Amino acid sequence: MDSVTQATLGAVVGGVVLGRRLGRKAVLIGALLGTLPDLDVVIDYGDAVSNVTEHRGFSHSLFVLTGLAGLLALLSARFAPAKDISLARWAAFFGLILITHPLLDALTAYGTQLLWPLESPPVAWPIVFIIDPFYSLPLLICLITALLTRRVRQWCAWGLGISSIYLVLAFGAKLSVEHKLAPTLAEQGLSSAPRLVQPTPFNILLWRATVVEGDRYYESLVSVFDGNATPTLEPLRRGAELESAAVEGVAGQRLAWFAGPFLRYEMRPIDGQLALVATDIRLGFPGFHPFSFTLATRQADAWTPVATSEELTSQRSVQLTTLSRLAARALGNRDALCATAFVEPKWRYPPQVLPCEPSNND
């Protein structure tokens, strides 16, 4: 999640655990420690792929953060002026503030290396978008009220409770969408295909399903208000013929470890050379994927892995009309938006123009 949300969550958790004893100090400490794991973004790991895939790594490890919480608890029990706070209470205070950060991150599509230094892939069970005002605002409002009224513990508890209920609703919405999607996948022989179901930007009403099968992948939008309507799978090309060349290099292997099969490959001319580019199709929205990386260049009729990968910045911006169509689709208007409305026709299988193509204003 975004850093403001993480700071707010840390502040609220701190207020719940020690707000009655420490008051606003508990909130301040919670806010500072709540953002601590994200400070790894200032580290340069050497190239674009490493910087993206190492984020949410060691600083989000449950092992590292548990150890840090224990150390802070020991120091506080020994040196803090508040001698009446037990070691166990200090441990709960620091532990819950630090550990709720990566656990919340694991509920987004990006993934979080909860078990670092073990080489297991990032954990991701997305039930909230990386920025969701409906989760963040109740936390923030209750936190501000807590600071203004000085009833720190009570209002922080309300904020934590409301935001937790939202996560439960998101969990239920995801299960409902997966239930609606299952018959369609079974009918097309995709029941065992890798798939990712996640909320679309800023809400938990409209969900995006991505299903990968060989050279193709399928996108679908399913709203909790779609009723008994059958989900539509929209096929796209994945460029899988380039996959073997992409993973020959260290950067390609690392990216495949990070994103699994949810990568799209293409050739692009860059600075006078033909480059092999991989795009993480999990993140963002079809047509608005933020992460694309160079993995190889074409030399003498063969692909040569790049020594240093580069991130390619998308020039496409989101317009208000796009968000309004997204909102209409979330409320069950199936004609308002299809999953691949903003995807270039060349990626569709077969190439085609859809009736839900955006206008020039989108």
68-86 confidence digits (pLDDT tens): 999 999 999 999 998 899 9
pLDDT of residue 165: 98
Partners of residue 210 on adjacent β-strands: 196, 219
pLDDT at residue number 351: 61
* pLDDT value for 352: 58
Res. 339: pLDDT tops 90? yes
pTM of the model: 0.92
Tokens of 29: 């400490």
Buried b (16+ CB within 10 A) or exposed e, 280-290: bbbbbbbbebe
N-terminal to C-terminal alpha carbon distance within the chain: 26
pLDDT bucket at 353, cuts 50 / 70 / 90: low
Q: What average pLDDT score do residues 91-118 get? A: 97
How many Å separate Cα 307 from the centre of its chain?
A: 28
For residue 338, the SS3 value is coil
Average of per-residue pLDDT values in the chain: 93
DSSP 280: E
Rounded to an integer, the average pLDDT of 149-172 is: 96
Q: How high is the pLDDT of residue 150?
A: 87
Q: Residue 292 in 3-state DSSP?
A: strand
Tokens of 146: 């807590």
The pLDDT, as a whole number, for residue 276 is 97
Report the DSSP beta bridge partners of residue 126: none
99 pLDDT above the threshold of 70 = yes
For position 47, what pLDDT does the model report?
94
Element (H, E) at 303: strand 302-305
Report CA Rg, the chain: 23
Q: How do the residues of the chain divide into helix, strand and coil, expressed in percent and rounded to 5?
A: 45, 15, 35
Average pLDDT estimate for 30-50? 95
In the predicted model, is pLDDT for residue 321 greater than 90? no
Nearest in space to 155 (alpha carbons), one of 49, 264, 11, 276: 11
- The answer to whether residue 359 scores a pLDDT higher than 60 is no
pLDDT digits (tens, 9 = 90+) for 269-286: 998 899 999 999 999 999
Tell me if the bond preceding 350 is cis, omega within 30° of 0: yes
In this prediction, residue 358 has a pLDDT band, given cuts at 50, 70 and 90, of low
